[in-house]
């Protein structure tokens, strides 16, 4: 996708080196800062601190992290330690495990002197595939958006899409998941307007989704998370489309905290509720998402404080509650399969149930 008209990916090899650069998402939208990752620990730090975030990008960064580690030490012990360090960075998005397993599987049988190059090539392949995959998700989702727009009483009116968090290209290597269909619809001339939920506590909607939609020229409006049900009740939302961090084999979906509440409101108001994600986000080893998906517990400080930019241009963080107020910060929630209209993947659109997902698995 483009930044100021120049094509970029969220993770890029620094030409002529064995290092990669990432966009530091903790300082967007106020600054665009590229940071170079030279070691496995750099990659782990970038994931832990959410300089990179979003399920597919976490996986891609971890893959390069393992490759960077093998450049320093390609022994079995280092491979295991590197895997464990990266795996421990964040618990909910299953793409992390998927990417690490994939790199480990191709390097483990090799002699030590071939491992780093092979890991580097596999990380690059993961990134290239992610870009292609997300474009395919966009094409399948585009067809849904086209049909929903054609079904509107007034087709000159915009198709109002509600999102949550950021599952756009900043959450992936390119294109994104929930926003990929939106970009294709916009580019095809369908009038699309996006309701961008701010996504407290970290504000990925306000800081990231609004930023990337503006870079692409897609009309959008920022809303407080609490406004979602109200807008649906008044017929101002044609569909919701969000990303996913882990989908179970029966179609339960973990996504950013607040997704479940939106799905409840959407069901009450007959608003279609789609999840868009690559097949690598499906955890085939579990069925019951509420029981079996680990929910990341994050710092209470993200709830009690809000960061931003002051009038003088300095970055500041302000306390919004009484000093010492207890706060809890679950990073994700689980939407049961029964609240999911359908799952948009690179292989097509599937029902969120064990039977249709088994059909998808058989296609792989």
Residues lying near ligand MRU in the complex (CB under 6 A)? 53-55, 165-167, 171, 177, 204, 242-245, 255-256, 331
Instruction: Please tell me the distance from the alpha carbon of residue 332 to that of residue 349, in angstroms, as a whole number.
Output: 24
**Is 56 or 69 the residue whose CB approaches ligand MRU more closely?**
56
3-state secondary structure of 283: strand
Given the complex with ligand MRU, which of 79 and 165 has the nearer CB atom?
A: 165
| Angle (CA) 266 272 276, round 5° | 110
Q: Closer to ligand MRU at the Cβ: 281 or 304?
A: 281
Q: What are the C-alpha distances in Å from 305 to residues 146, 172, 187, 208, 329? A: 41, 27, 38, 18, 12
Residue 196 near residue 205, CB atoms below 8 Å: yes
> Other CB atoms closer than 10 Å to residue 11's CB: what's the count?
25
Least Å distance, CB 296 to ligand MRU, is 7
C-alpha to C-alpha distances, 93 to 56, 224, 252, 326, 345, nearest whole angstrom: 8, 25, 14, 27, 16
Residue 167: CB minimum distance to ligand MRU, A: 4
Mind telling me the catalytic residues? Answer: 245
Output the CA–CA distances (angstroms, integers) from residue 90 to 8, 50, 260, in the order listed: 25, 10, 21
CB 27, min distance to ligand MRU, A: 15
Rounded to a whole number of angstroms, the minimum distance from the CB of residue 240 to ligand MRU is: 12
Instruction: Give the nearest distance from C-beta 108 to ligand MRU in angstroms.
Output: 28
Complex with ligand MRU: residue 69 or 168, whichever CB lies closer: 168
Residue (of 345, 341, 13, 7) closest to 169 by Cα position: 7
Rank residues 85 and 134 by Cβ distance to ligand MRU and give the closer one.
134
């Amino acid at each position: 996708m483009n930044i100021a008209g120049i094509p970029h990916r969220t993770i890029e090899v620094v030409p002529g080196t064995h290092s990669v650069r990432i966009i530091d998402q903790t300082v967007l939208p106020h600054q665009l800062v590229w940071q170079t990752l030279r070691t496995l620990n750099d990659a782990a730090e970038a994931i832990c601190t959410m300089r990179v975030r979003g399920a597919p990008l976490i996986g891609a960064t971890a893959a390069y992290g393992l490759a960077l580690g093998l450049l320093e030490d390609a022994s079995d012990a280092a491979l295991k330690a590197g895997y464990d360090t990266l795996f421990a960075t964040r618990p909910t998005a299953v793409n992390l495990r998927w990417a690490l397993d994939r790199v480990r599987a191709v390097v483990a049988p090799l002699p030590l002197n071939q491992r780093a190059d092979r890991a580097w090539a596999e990380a690059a392949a993961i990134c290239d595939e992610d870009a292609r995959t997300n474009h395919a998700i966009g094409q399948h989702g585009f067809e849904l958006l086209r049909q929903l727009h054609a079904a509107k009483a007034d087709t000159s009116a915009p198709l109002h899409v509600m999102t949550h968090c950021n599952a756009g290209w900043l959450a992936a290597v390119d294109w994104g998941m929930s926003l990929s269909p939106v970009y294709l619809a916009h580019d095809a001339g369908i009038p699309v307007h996006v309701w961008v939920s701010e996504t407290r506590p970290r504000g990925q909607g306000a800081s990231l989704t609004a930023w990337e939609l503006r870079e692409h020229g897609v009309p959008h409006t920022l809303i407080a998370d609490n406004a979602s049900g109200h807008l649906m009740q008044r017929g101002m939302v044609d569909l919701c489309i969000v990303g996913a961090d882990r989908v179970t084999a029966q179609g339960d979906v973990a996504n950013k905290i607040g997704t479940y509440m939106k799905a409840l409101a959407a069901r009450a108001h007959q608003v279609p509720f789609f999840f868009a994600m690559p097949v690598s986000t499906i955890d085939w080893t579990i069925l019951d998402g509420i029981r079996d998906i680990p929910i990341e517990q994050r710092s209470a400080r993200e709830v009690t404080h809000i960061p931003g930019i002051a009038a003088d241009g300095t970055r500041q963080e302000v306390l919004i509650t009484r000093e010492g107020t207890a706060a809890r910060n679950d990073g994700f929630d689980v939407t049961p399969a029964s609240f999911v209209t359908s799952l948009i993947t690179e292989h097509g659109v599937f029902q969120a149930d064990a039977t249709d997902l088994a059909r998808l698995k058989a296609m792989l």
